Amino acid sequence: MKHKNLIQKMALLAGTACLTLTTFICPAASMPAQAATASEGTIQPRQDRIEYVYKIEDGKLYKRLYNYSNGDWIGDWIYVCDYPG
């Protein structure tokens, strides 16, 4: 009976060792590296860059939205407050 248990334990140990070794020895499936083309290497913005632009005119502060992506003004000048400077 002890001989049978010893054989089972040895078989289990050998099977575990084989599975462990195959995970380290077998090469992983991988894709070959590809060089980036000119169109893939550039950054393409997904949305427009829109920010406020401020100006001071006659002691008053104004703001207006500007689309830096297109170079277009959005809306009209909006009065903010009297400029304390």
**Residues shown for the chain:** 85
Mean per-residue pLDDT over the chain, rounded: 79
The total of structural domains in the chain comes to 1
Structural domain for 80, as ranges: 48-85
What residue ranges in 1-85 does DSSP mark as E strands?
50-57, 60-67, 72-82
Residues with Cβ within 8 Å of 55's Cβ and at least 6 positions away in sequence, in order, are 61, 62, 63, 64, 77
Residue 26: the pLDDT is 56
Is the whole-model pTM more than 0.85? Answer: no
In a domain, 79, yes or no: yes
Residue 30: the pLDDT is 60
In a domain, 38, yes or no: no
pLDDT exceeding 70 applies to what percent of the chain? Answer: 66
- For the segment 14-53, what is each residue's pLDDT rounded down to a tens digit? 777 666 656 666 555 566 666 556 556 677 768 899 999 9
